[in-house]
Structure 1
Amino acid sequence: MNRPPAHDVAIRAAAALGEGPTWDPAAERLIWVDVLGARVHTWHPATGRRTVRTTGQHVGAAKPRAGGGLVLNLRDGVGLLDPGTDVFRWLHRERVPGRRANDAAVAPDGSLWAGTMRYDEAAGGGTLARLTGEGRVSAVLDAVAVSNGIGWSPDGRLMYYVDSPTRRVDVFDHDAEGRLTGRRPLAAVEEGAGFPDGLTVDADGCVWVALWEGGAVRRYTPAGRLDRTVPLPVRRVTACAFGGPSLTDLYVTTARTGPAAPHPLAGSVLVVPDAGTGLPQPAFAG
C-alpha cells in the first residue's frame, strides 16, 4: 500500500458540519459549506481571500453555475444565486417537514444531482433527484437513508454513490440521458472504520471516499480495491475534492458536531498536497 502523503491545514475554521468542497476553476477558488451553520464559504488560495454567505436555512451543497453564480442544495429545495448581484431565487422548491438537503454533484451533462435526508436519519426518508438547467426535476432514487457522495467515472459511463448507513460505495451504469441501471457494490467499509461520506473521482478513475467517524480518506481503484489510505487527525471527515491550478491538491472538509470533545482542527478544511490528479468538474447548466 502506498505511503500516505502528509496533510496541511488549508482553512482553520470551526464549522459545525463542513461539507461539499468544490473547486471553481473559473474563479480559482474553493467553495464549501457548513451545513448546520447555514453558510457558504469561498476561499482563494492564491490570495487568501475568504467570503462567507449566510443562507437562512441548512445548506447541503453549493456548486458553480456555467454563467456565474452558484446553485444551492437547501433544506426546502434548490435555489440559485445570480452572478454579480448575488440575488437569490428558487429553481425548485419542495419543503418536506423533517427533511433537509445533503450532498450534491454536477453530472457531465451539467445537471445537478441533489440528495436529501431526514434529520433523524430514518431509513427510507432520503432521496436523490436530478435537476436540469431549466429546472426540470426527475426522481433518481427514493427510500434512501443518508444520501451522500456522488461522482462519475472519467468517461461518464459510471456513477458512484453513497448511502452512508449501508457502509458501501455503489456503482451504476450511467447513460447520456441520465438514466441509471445495474446498481452493484464497488466497495464496503468494514465495521469500526467509519461510514463512507462524500467522494470524488480522480483522472485514473479511482474513487476517493471520506470516512465519517473513520478519521481518514480512502482511495479505491475502479475494480473496488483499496489501494491508499490517508489518515487524518479529525474523526468526522465529511468530503473531499481535488483543486488548485493543476487539480493535484486534495481538499478535505471536516465536522465539529458530535458528543465527544472535538479535535482542535475539527471543522477546518484540510489539504493533502500532490495527492493525485483530479477531474475538471462541470458547472451547473442553469
Structure 2
Amino acid sequence: MIEIAVAAHAELGEAPVWDPVARRLIWVDVLTSRVHLFDPATGRQAVLDTGQHVGAARPREGGGLVVNLRDGVGLYDASGGFSWLVEDPVPGRRGSGAAVAPDGALWAGTTRDDEEKGGGTLTRVAPDGSTETVVPDATAGGGTGWSPDGALMYWADTATHRIDVFTVTEDGRARDRRPLVDTAEFTGSPEGMTVDADGCVWAAFRNGGAVHRFTPGGALDRTVEVPVSRPTACAFGGPDLTDLYITTACTGLPPGAEPAAGSVLVLPGAGAGLPGTPFAG
C-alpha cells in the first residue's frame, strides 16, 4: 500500500536517490531551490538551500553532493563548501534531472523554463569537469538509468512521450539511441525513472497518476497507481533497497485539490533496487 514518507508541499519534487552511506533519501524541490535530506529510520529531515533552481542532487565519493543547478553543475564538499564544476549559465534554461552512471560520471539534463521544444540538452559530465553533449535538442529530459550490467542506458524525454535506450561503450559514452517504448497511448508523460535488479524500468508518469514498470524489451509489466496526478520520479531505497520512493508536485493544482500532492510517497517492498554509484568528482 502506498504511504506518505514525507508530508510536504513541494512545488516540483524531483530526483529521489538513496544515499547508502548516510542511509537517507535525497530529493529536491526544483522551483524553491532546495535539496531535502530524509532519514526514514528516525524521521529526521534537513534542507539545503542552493540559491537557484536545482534539478537533482547526488552523493559524491568522499562525502558531499553534486548538484545540477540553473547555471551549471556544482559541488558541495563534506563540510558544506561550494564550488562550480561546470558553470554554463543560459538565460531561460535550468538544470533538470541528473543521474550517476556506473563509471562515476554524471549525466545531467537541462530544460528551458518554458519547456520550448528542443531547448534542452543531455550531457555527460566527467569527474574532471569535461563534458560531452549527447542529446543537443532535448525538451524536458525526465530521467536516466542503467541496466544492471551497465551495458544499456535508458532516458526519457518527457515531451516526446518516449523512453529511449542507448548502448554504453567501453569508455562510458552512450551511442546508438533507439526507442524502448512509445508511451503516447498512456495517460501522462514519462519523467523520472529507476532501473531494478531485474533490469526493468520504472517510470513516473506526470499527469498520469501512476508509476509504470517496463521490461527490458519494452513491455508494460506493472502499474502502481498513486493518490496524486503528478508523480515526477522514483527510486528504490531503504537498507535493503526494496522500498520505492516517489516524488510528486503540487505546482499548478488548486489549493487542497490533492492533499498528498508535493509529498514524497513510498511503496514498501515494491521490488529489488540496484545500489547506486556516487559521483567520482
Which residue identity lines up with residue 166 of structure 1 in the other structure? Answer: T
TM-score by length of 1: 0.96
Residue in 2 aligned with 1:28? 23
Q: How does 1:1-286 map to 2 (within 5 A)?
A: 6-83=1-78, 85-191=79-185, 193-261=187-255, 262-286=257-281
After superposition, give the CA deviation of every residue in 1:56-107 in whole Å (9 maximum; x if it has no partner).
0000000000110000000000001110x20111111000001000000000
- Pairwise CA distance, 1:191: 4.0
SS state of the match for residue 32, structure 2? Answer: coil
Note the residue ranges of structure 1 that are not aligned, 5 or more in a row. Answer: 1-5
CA RMSD after TM alignment: 1.0
**C-alpha distance in 2 between matches for 1:176 and 1:45:** 37
SS state of the match for residue 36, structure 1? Answer: helix
SS state of the match for residue 160, structure 1? Answer: strand
Do the aligned residues in 1 keep the contact of 2:93 with 2:110 (CA within 8 Å)? yes
Which residue identity lines up with residue 12 of structure 1 in the other structure? Answer: A
Which residue identity lines up with residue 135 of structure 1 in the other structure? Answer: G
**C-alpha distance in 1 between matches for 2:218 and 2:164:** 10
Residue in 2 aligned with 1:3? none
- Pairwise CA distance, 1:260: 4.1
**C-alpha distance in 1 between matches for 2:235 and 2:229:** 18
Which residue identity lines up with residue 229 of structure 2 in the other structure? Answer: R
After superposition, give the CA deviation of every residue in 1:130-169 in whole Å (9 maximum; x if it has no partner).
1111111111110111112100000011000011011011
**C-alpha distance in 1 between matches for 2:253 and 2:271:** 34
After superposition, give the CA deviation of every residue in 1:200-222 in whole Å (9 maximum; x if it has no partner).
00000000000000000000000
**C-alpha distance in 2 between matches for 1:222 and 1:91:** 34
- Pairwise CA distance, 1:274: 0.4
State the number of aligned residues.
280
Which residue identity lines up with residue 98 of structure 1 in the other structure? Answer: G
- Pairwise CA distance, 1:181: 2.1
SS state of the match for residue 48, structure 1? Answer: coil
**C-alpha distance in 1 between matches for 2:198 and 2:127:** 29
- Pairwise CA distance, 1:192: 5.5
Indicate the percent of aligned positions where both proteins have the same amino acid. Answer: 60
Do the aligned residues in 1 keep the contact of 2:162 with 2:184 (CA within 8 Å)? no
- Pairwise CA distance, 1:123: 1.0
**C-alpha distance in 2 between matches for 1:130 and 1:227:** 30
**C-alpha distance in 2 between matches for 1:111 and 1:278:** 20
